[in-house]
Structure 1
Amino acid sequence: MSQAGQMVKHSTIYAIGNISRQLVGFIMLPVYTHYLTPADYGVIGLLIFLVSLFEIVLGGHMFQAVPKFYHQQETKAEKNSVVTTALLVTSFFSLIACLAMATASEQLAAIVFGDKQYSIYIVIFAALILTHALEQYGLTYLRIIKKPWTYFNFSMVKLALQLGLNILTIVILDWGLMGLALSSLISSVIIAITLCSYTVYKTGAKFNQEIARNVLRFSWPLWISGLIGLYIGSSNRYFIRIFSSLDDVGLFELAAKFGSIVSILIWLPFSQYWQTERFAIAKTEDPYPAYSLAFRLIAGLLLIAGIGISIFVDLVVSVMSAPEFHSAAGAVPFLVIAGIFQCLTIFNNFSFMYQDRTLEVTKNNTATAIVVTVFYFILIPSLGFIGASIAFAGASAFQYIYALHSGNRIYPLKINQRPIAIAFFVFFSAVLLDKTILGEIDFSFYTLAFKVGIVATSSAATIAILANKTEIAFIANTLKSRISNRR
């Protein structure tokens, strides 16, 4: 259980850091929905999609390659050269992407929004391509050298910056959408410069051509796969605008914010530990118990958190947002399911990473993109943003099954899938029971007690399904020991 203990400890610290960095969007949600319209929220969603598109096409990101090649090097100097080489290459490509997006701002505004007046926002968000790259490399380096508390400190600083700037520009100065754009840019610039300076100070600025070639060779299929993955997960905003309305884009964006909580709170901190450790575990004599433990641990946490969010989201949205945003809650359970399947797909993609078969990830994403496009054309015209969320969930399930099947032929992780299938059935049953029995939103004692009961019962069932006998005994003995000590 020492592996699980370290996993939980580091992941918890990363979780707190990630929560703080993402917390602004939720703390400011009542303010955003008061000062911004659903259409404004839709504009933000499409701007984020544009930034992500240019980041992937021209950004040259190598985040997944850095831990792999870092652990392959023998000396500290060689390890440091992996970090700085990847940082320099990505900075060059990200600058090109930033300039390209800013230069084409008017044309992009006309295509994406149908109105050139949004070009100034495209220019502002274009700068985030470079600052995000610098920021992410700094955070990746902190994870590799296992500095979770330093990671946490940087996250808290960014939280303070974003909150302060959002309150200043949106509430006090009443700049609306422009205030949100400027506050995002300023906070990202400050953190990016600080993190980049810290990384270069620790590693030096040595560029290694051989490492650059190896990393690029490893990463190029992932760039293509990332582009396709962006299409799968974010093109729905554009389809919704074409087949429905900009208001529906805003409702979907709000639903996606709640749907992403599972990934942010559970998967992201876990992956920041797992991405750097899985290659080291693979070198051990028998890595399969560790693979199984990690998979069941993260799957259980994702499902339990997903159940809680799906059951209580209608109440939370009704409290935190204006009435015109309340219907967004209907899409959240589908987006939660999509997020869980995507996270578990990334876990299984290790089979391809370890065997240097990253092109298989691209093949998977290509097949999924075809499936999701068909779903979008069928469901969005009739069901709007709800149809988009259903399409995304269905395509994500297909993607997971594809990755599992392909990975087992290349490097099987030997993880029993039957418990996870049963656990998903528990998830669906819990959400269906809640939506069927409870009608309109209310905060009565009966409603709250019923929801708590569903979450508690389904969570206990999920733990019992996914944990083996030894782990259940360990959990029971630990709880018993703590209760005895308190007495």
Structure 2
Amino acid sequence: MSNTFKQFKLTVIQSFFYSLGNFAGKFSGIILLPIYSFYLPIEEFGLYALFEAIFQVFQVFSGLGIKLGLSRWYWDQKEEQDRKSLFFTTFLFNSIVCILLSFIIYFSFNLLSDYYFKSPINSSLALLFVVGNLIRLFTEVPMLLLRIQHKAKRHSVFQVIQLLSFVAFVAVFLAIFDLGLYGIFWATILSFLIQTLLLLPDIFKNVFLKIEWKKTIEMLRYGFPVALGNMVNVAFAFTDKYFINIFSNLKQVGTFTLSHKISNVVNLLVVNSFISAYMHSYFKTVDSADSDSFFSRSFTYFYLVISFFSLLIILFIDELVLVLTANNEQYGGSSAIIPVLTIGLIFGGVRQMLLLPINKVKKTKVIGIVSVVAGAINVLLNYLLIPEWKALGAAYATGIVQLLSALTLLYFTLKYVKIKFEWLRLLLLTIAFVFCVSLGYLIQVDSIIIAILIKVSIVALWTGLLLVSRFLLPEELLRIKQFWAKWSKKLPFLG
């Protein structure tokens, strides 16, 4: 087996375990969407979405980029004691920043009530929100360490436990006690307290009480440009919900948020899972001779998988919305928004993959600049499109910015790393995807059963187009046949 396939096999295995955690996260979201739609009016769901947007800004400002530095520097330390002191330094620095941010956000809620929420926010609700998200942020560095150490199983188990407990608490607090947003924030506090307790043995095991001042500065210099770009990008990105609320109402905020959660299935199950596994393998073998060829082949496989799942989301969007909203007509407007967001997330996934080779050559300033410019463009497009198109305008703005960001990062990747992408195969994937999506929109029938059969046929057509166009290489066909032969013997019903 070639080194490329060995590395990719390891990445796939790691991705599988990360996918379990991400799947549990999305599955919990799928379970909770009908609960939210049944027990929360769409306006209150929109208010919850505005709180979530604040957390995203909260999260990206935490650590000031030192977490990225830990990922990059951890395996450079030859001695175990040095790795432990590096983890302790990162954990301590991140915790201090998070505590300071928590105070700032809590005492800013009067301003947020007037200029962001456009409605008064109870101080006790604000306190629950801040405390829950502070505990949540405390767990990020230990969970990152598990990913760096390739402890995918342990990482996924802890993540699944937290998510399942969150779902259970939310269901009880909403369905039985009717606590509304208070119940959701209490569920956040309790579920992440459970995860914190589970992580304590890993924290104590990997701590050496020494602050690495010099390495801290180096990690901040490395990670802060990326973090700054992400800070500005997220701060700008959260303007979509802000502008929707300002120019329209909380109902439109709720519709856009529901659309984003459904379209984000691909991001959670494919993009985050794959990159979580691949990133640490990539950095660990960054100096190997076949690093660039491994990235090129991995990029093609990644694009294949993300295209397939995006096609499924777009084709079966009506059925998904019907099921996930418990047929609540208040949430019905999301069907037109989800396809736009899903296509935008394809480019967003490509953008995240292209960050890796740029990080490899330590051109993090490029990432920061691109993120800042993209964020500014996103704000401008939101301002121009949302007054006319409301939530759909925000979706168009997101898609355009993701496309421009991906193309810009591709230019710099080719400039600094000169990776030989498999352009013909990528083009074939794009043509097959566009053709099948277009076909799905052209063929419209009233019968649900016939519509589902047509959509299944289109998915089969997508597969056939790739086979006929000889998208798969001979070595890939061989491995698929070997895989089929092996598992058809173990599982007779496949034979």
| TM-score tier (shorter) | over 0.9
**C-alpha displacement of 1:266:** 0.8
Q: Is the contact between residue 105 and residue 120 of structure 1 (CA under 8 Å) also seen in structure 2? A: no
1:345-399 deviation line (CA, Å, top 9, x unaligned): 1111123211222110111112222332332233222211112111211110110
Aligned partners of 1:242 and 1:183: how far apart in 2? 29
Shift of 1:258: 0.8
Q: Which amino acid aligns with 1:474?
A: R
- Which residue pairs with 1:370 in the alignment? 376
Corresponding residue number in structure 2 for 1:413: 419
8 Å contact kept, 2:336–2:392:
yes
The alignment's TM-score, normalised by the length of structure 1, stands at 0.94
Choose from 383, 403, 422 the match for 1:397: 403
Say which of 77, 80, 84 aligns to 1:76. 80
Distance 2:140 2:417 in 1: 29
CA distance in 2, matches of 1:223, 1:411: 22
| Residues 1:324 and 1:40: Cα distance change in structure 2 (over 3 Å) | same
State the secondary structure of the residue aligned to 1:229: helix
Matches within 5 A, 1:392-471: 392-439=398-445, 443-444=448-449, 446-461=450-465, 467-471=472-476
Match of 1:263, as an amino acid? Answer: N
Rounded to whole Å, the distance in 2 between the matches of 1:472 and 1:288 is: 23
Deviations for 1:105-164, whole angstroms, at most 9, x for unmatched residues? Answer: 121122111112355433322224422322221221111222222112212321331122
Q: Per-residue deviation at 1:300?
A: 1.0
CA distance in 1, matches of 2:456, 2:168: 35
Are residues 1:110 and 2:147 paired?
no
* SS of alignment partner, residue 441 of structure 2: helix
Contact 1:11 1:273 in 2 (8 A): yes
Summarize deviations over 1:317-346 as a string: whole Å, max 9, x none.
Answer: 112211111221211111112212112111
> Matches of 1:466 and 1:159 in 2, distance apart?
38
The answer as to 2:313 corresponding to 1:298 is: no
Query: 1:63 is paired with a residue of what secondary structure?
Result: helix
1:287 matches 2:284: no
Give the conservation status (yes or no) of the 8 Å contact 1:222–1:361: yes
SS across alignment from 1:28:
helix
CA shift in 2, pair 1:420/1:229, >3 Å: farther
The answer for the alignment partner of 1:360 in structure 2 is 366
Q: Which moved more, 1:211-220 or 1:156-165?
A: 156-165
Cα displacement (A) at 1:82: 2.0
Identity %: 20
Preserved CA contact (<8 Å) 1:135 1:196: no
Task: Say if 1:410 and 1:79 are closer, same or farther in 2 by CA, change over 3 A.
Answer: same
Unaligned runs of at least 5 residues, structure 2: none
The aligned counterpart of 2:342 is 336
Paired with 1:456 and 1:63, the residues of 2 have a C-alpha distance of 42
SS in 2 for 1:207: coil
Indicate yes or no: 2:465 matched with 1:475: no
Give the superposed CA RMSD: 2.1
Q: How does 1:40-439 map to 2 (within 5 A)?
A: 40-57=44-61, 59-117=63-121, 119-321=123-325, 322-439=328-445
Q: Decide which moves more: 220-229 or 368-377.
A: 368-377
Counting matched residue pairs gives 485
Q: Extract unaligned runs of 5+ from structure 1.
A: none
In structure 2, the CA distance between the partners of 1:159 and 1:51, relative to structure 1 (3 Å rule), is: closer
Write the distance in 2 (CA, Å) between the matches of 1:254 and 1:241. 15
**How far, CA to CA, are the matches of 1:395 and 1:89 in structure 2?**
32
